[in-house]
Amino acid sequence: MDDLTQPADLSPVVNRVKRAQGQLAGVLRMIEEERDLDQVLNQLKAVTRALERAGFAMITQDLRRHVGRGEEITEGDLDTYERHFLSLS
């Protein structure tokens, strides 16, 4: 699989990760302030989901790039995509 080289392709992913970074900073503050466990865990879940979505977006972008270029997707490529998807689910 290719490296993601086009900045425009990465901007939605970068934005997601930056939002998750902000959320994570908020979680850290909550922990330091000894906030309610349920609230902290809910925010941790939200950060996790945001990062998973960023990963899915990266995989999808790579697949779209291959298809858009008219490249053949091999069985090995499909196995790799499947492994990546399953690692995030």
pLDDT at 9 over 80: no
- Look at residue 14 and tell me if it is in a domain: yes
Q: Is residue 41 part of a domain?
A: yes
The pLDDT value recorded for residue 50 is 94
Structural domain boundaries, residue 82 = 8-88
Q: Is residue 2 part of a domain?
A: no
- Higher per-residue pLDDT: 35 or 4: 35
Give the 3-state secondary structure of the chain.
CCCCCCHHHHHHHHHHHHHHHHHHHHHHHHHHCCCCHHHHHHHHHHHHHHHHHHHHHHHHHHHHHHHHCCCCCCHHHHHHHHHHHHHHC
Q: pLDDT at residue 3 above 80? A: no
Q: How many separate domains does the chain show?
A: 1
Answer yes or no: is pLDDT of 37 > 90: yes
Does 1 map to a domain? no
pLDDT in tens, 54-87: 999 999 998 888 888 888 889 999 999 999 999 9
For the domain that residue 73 is a member of, what is the CATH number?
1.20.58.1000
Q: What is the pTM of this model?
A: 0.76
